[in-house]
C-alpha cells in the first residue's frame, strides 16, 4: 500500500513583473510609453515590475491588446506566482514545533511501514502526507473536524483513548472500501446473506473470504481487513460511508477463527439493528451499552442457536469429540464452539485451542 502524491514542486516561479520587464526591454519600450498605451500610471507599471503588486484580469486584457500576448498567459503567470507564494507560506506554517507535536500523535512508524508516510523527518513533508491521507487541509482543521466527528464515536471509549491511531485505522478501512463497488444497501438481502455466510465457517480460509465478501457486496456492505495498529486494540468496526453503502472492517487482532466470526457478526448486527449516524468501534471489551449487549447476543445466537447451546452445555461433557460432533450437527466450525465455552468460563482458556483455525490478513485474502 503506497501513497502516491504529486511531486512537482518547483523551487522558483517567475514573478509576472519580471516577464513584463523582459518584454519591455526586448521591444525597447519605455515604461512611460507603455503605461500611456495601457492607460495606467507609470507608478503602477513600476510596482508590477518591482514585484510590489500584481494586476487584475482587466489589466491583463489591456496587456493583450498592447503587447499582443494573450491575456491567458498574463493570468497564468499571476496564478502560478500566487500559488507558489501560498505553498511557501503553507510550508512555513508546517515547519513549527506545533506541527511536530501534531505529527507525533500519530503512529508514524506504522504509517511508514505501509507506505503512507515517507522516511523524511521534515515536519512539513510528514504533515503534508498525513493531510493528503486524510483529505484534510491543515492540522488545525483536522483537530476541529475530528472533535465534531467524535460525537458519532460515543459508543466506544477506544476513540477517546487513542484518537489519532484509531482515526488512521478507520481511514485505512475507508480507503480499502473505496476500492469495492457494492450494490445499494438492502437490509433484507443482508440479513438473508448472513445465514449463507454462517455456513462458510467450516471452509478453509482461502475459500470462504471471497464468497463472504461477494455476499456482503451484493447487500451493500464493503467488507475489508485492516491490520491492527499500535495503541488501537481494535477488533472491528461498522459504520456507513454513504447513505447506500456501509462498511465492516476487521483487524484479525487475535488471529483465531472464533474471534473473527464473532467480530464479523457483531459488526453486522450494528448495521442491521442500529442507527446510521454512529461509528461502532469494538475491542475485546465490547462495552456495556445496550447496543453492544444486543450485538453480542446477536453474534452469539446466530453462530450457536441458544436452544442447541443450552442442550449441549447441560450435558457438561466438553471433550474434543463431543465438541466436534456438536459443531457438525449445527453446521459451524468447532473452533467457534471452543471460543464460546472459553468465554462462558465452561472450560479453561488453554483448552482445545488446537481445534481453532489461525487467520492472518496476508493469507486470508484469496
Q: Is 172 a member of any domain?
A: yes
Identify whether residues 102 and 90 lie together within a single domain.
no
137 Cβ contact partners less than 8 Å away, ≥ 6 residues apart: 131
Instruction: Decide: residue 316, CB within 10 A, 0-12 exposed, 13-18 middle, 19+ buried.
Output: exposed
Instruction: Please determine, for residue 331, whether its predicted confidence score (pLDDT) is greater than 90.
Output: yes
- In this model, does residue 6 exceed pLDDT 50? no
Q: Which residues on adjacent β-strands are paired with residue 240?
A: 246
Bridge partners, 248 (sequence order): 223, 238
> CB neighbours of 175 closer than 8 A, spacing ≥ 6?
none
- Mean pLDDT over 209-218 rounds to 96
**pLDDT tens, residue by residue, 140-168:** 999 998 888 776 664 455 555 578 999 99
- Cα gap 186→246, rounded to integer Å: 10
Mean pLDDT of the 164-182 span: 93
The alpha-carbon radius of gyration of the chain (Å, integer) is: 30
Q: What pLDDT is stored for residue 8 in this prediction?
A: 44
| pLDDT score of 156 | 52
Q: 123 and 221 in one domain? A: no
Question: What's the rounded Cα separation, in Å, for the pair 339 and 335?
Answer: 6
pLDDT at 157 (0 to 100): 52
Rounded CA-CA distance 286/357 in Å is 23
Output the pLDDT for position 210: 93
Check if the beta carbon of residue 185 is closer than 8 Å to that of residue 177.
no
DSSP secondary structure letters along 242-255: SSS-EEEEE--SS-
Host domain of residue 76: 16-94
Question: What mean pLDDT, rounded, does the chain reach?
Answer: 90
pLDDT at 242 over 70: yes
Which grid cell sits at 280?
Answer: 461502532
Distance CA 171, CA 302 (A): 30
- According to DSSP, the β-strands at 221-225 and 246-250 are parallel
- Can you list the positions of beta strands (E) in the chain? 221-225, 236-240, 246-250, 280-282
Residue 312 has pLDDT above 80, yes or no: yes
| Mean predicted confidence (pLDDT) in 181-193 | 95
CA-nearest of 186, 202, 196 to 302 is: 196
Domain assignment present for 197? yes
Judge if 42 and 81 occupy the same domain.
yes
- Whether 61 and 103 share a structural domain: no
363: pLDDT confidence band, cut at 50, 70 and 90?
Answer: low
Average pLDDT over residues 308-330: 96
Burial 332-345 (b: 16+ CB within 10 A, else e): bbbbbbbbbbbeee
On whether both 84 and 102 belong to a single domain, the answer is: no
Neighbours of 348 (CB within 10 A): 10
Same domain, 206 and 346: yes
Tell me the pLDDT band of 4, cut-offs 50, 70 and 90. Answer: very low
pLDDT at 121: 87
Per-residue b or e along 144-166, where b marks 16 or more CB atoms closer than 10 Å to that residue's CB: eebeeeeebbebbebbeebbbbb
247 and 296 inside one domain: yes
C-alpha cell at 300: 452469539
Is residue 195 in a domain? yes
Q: How far apart are CA 282 and CA 250, in angstroms?
A: 10
What does the DSSP 8-state code read for residue 52?
S
Does residue 149 share a domain with residue 200?
no
Check residue 2 and give its pLDDT: 43
Residue 260 CB neighbours (<10 A): 29
Q: Are residues 131 and 174 in the same domain?
A: no
Residue at a domain's end among 79, 94, 109: 94
Is 249 within 8 Å of 183 (Cβ atoms)? no
**What φ, ψ does residue 241 adopt, rounded to 5°?**
-90, -30
Q: How many domains does the chain have?
A: 3
pLDDT over 80 (residue 285): no
Instruction: Over range 200-226, report the average pLDDT.
Output: 94
- Asked whether residue 3 is assigned to any structural domain, the reply reads no
State residue 184's pLDDT score: 96
Establish if 8 belongs to a structural domain: no
CB 251 within 8 A of CB 169: yes
6 domain-assigned: no
- Residue-level pLDDT at 108: 92
CA distances in angstroms from 324 to 229, 230, 312, 313, listed in the order given: 34, 36, 12, 14
Residue 11 counted as domain residue? no
Question: How far from the centroid of its chain's Cα atoms is residue 95's Cα?
Answer: 25
Of 8-12, 300-304, 360-364, where does mean pLDDT reach its minimum? 8-12
Q: Which of 153, 188, 223 is the last residue of a domain?
A: 153
On whether both 40 and 59 belong to a single domain, the answer is yes
Q: What is the pLDDT of residues 85-143, one digit of tens each?
A: 999 999 998 989 999 999 999 999 999 998 999 998 899 999 999 999 999 999 999 99
Q: What is the mean pLDDT of residues 35-57?
A: 96
Highest mean pLDDT among 160-174, 319-333, 350-364: 319-333
Q: Clarify whether residues 87 and 101 are in a common domain.
A: no
The answer on 82 and 32 residing in a single domain is yes
Residue with cell 510590489: 52
Residues in Cβ contact with 162 at an 8 Å cutoff, skipping those fewer than 6 apart:
231, 232, 233
Displacement of CA 245 from its chain's centroid (Å): 15
Amino acid at each position: 500500500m503506497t501513497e502516491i502524491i504529486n511531486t512537482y514542486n518547483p523551487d522558483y516561479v517567475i514573478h509576472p513583473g519580471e516577464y513584463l520587464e523582459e518584454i519591455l526591454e526586448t521591444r525597447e519600450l519605455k515604461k512611460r510609453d507603455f503605461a500611456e498605451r495601457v492607460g495606467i500610471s507609470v507608478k503602477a507599471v513600476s510596482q508590477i515590475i518591482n514585484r510590489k503588486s500584481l494586476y487584475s484580469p482587466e489589466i491583463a486584457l489591456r496587456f493583450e491588446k498592447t503587447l499582443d500576448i494573450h491575456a491567458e498567459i498574463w493570468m497564468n503567470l499571476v496564478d502560478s506566482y500566487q500559488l507558489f507564494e501560498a505553498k511557501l507560506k503553507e510550508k512555513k506554517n508546517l515547519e513549527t514545533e506545533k506541527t511536530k507535536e501534531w505529527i507525533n500523535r500519530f503512529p508514524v512508524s506504522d504509517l511508514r511501514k505501509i507506505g503512507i508516510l515517507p522516511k523524511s523527518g521534515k515536519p512539513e513533508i510528514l504533515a503534508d502526507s498525513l493531510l493528503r491521507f486524510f483529505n484534510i487541509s491543515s492540522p488545525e482543521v483536522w483537530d476541529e473536524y475530528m472533535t465534531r466527528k467524535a460525537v458519532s464515536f460515543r459508543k466506544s471509549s477506544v476513540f477517546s483513548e487513542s484518537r489519532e491511531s484509531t482515526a488512521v485505522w478507520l481511514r485505512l478501512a475507508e480507503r480499502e472500501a473505496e476500492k469495492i463497488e457494492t450494490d445499494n444497501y438492502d437490509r433484507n438481502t443482508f440479513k438473508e446473506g448472513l445465514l449463507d455466510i454462517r455456513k462458510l465457517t467450516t471452509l478453509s480460509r482461502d475459500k470462504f473470504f471471497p464468497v463472504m465478501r461477494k455476499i456482503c457486496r451484493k447487500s451493500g456492505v464493503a467488507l475489508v481487513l485492516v491490520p491492527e495498529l499500535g495503541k488501537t486494540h481494535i477488533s472491528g468496526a461498522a459504520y456507513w460511508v454513504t447513505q447506500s453503502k456501509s462498511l465492516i472492517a476487521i483487524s484479525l487482532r487475535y488471529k483465531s477463527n472464533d474471534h473473527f466470526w464473532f467480530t464479523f457478526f457483531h459488526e453486522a448486527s450494528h448495521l442491521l439493528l442500529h442507527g446510521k449516524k454512529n461509528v461502532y468501534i469494538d475491542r475485546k471489551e465490547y462495552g456495556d451499552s445496550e447496543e453492544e449487549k444486543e450485538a453480542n447476543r446477536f453474534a452469539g445466537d446466530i453462530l450457536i442457536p441458544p436452544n442447541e447451546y443450552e442442550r449441549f452445555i447441560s450435558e457438561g461433557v466438553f471433550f474434543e469429540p463431543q465438541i466436534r460432533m456438536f459443531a457438525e450437527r449445527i453446521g459451524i466450525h468447532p473452533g467457534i464452539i471452543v471460543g464460546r465455552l472459553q468465554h462462558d468460563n465452561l472450560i479453561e482458556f488453554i483448552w482445545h485451542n488446537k481445534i481453532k483455525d489461525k487467520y492472518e490478513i496476508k493469507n486470508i485474502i484469496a
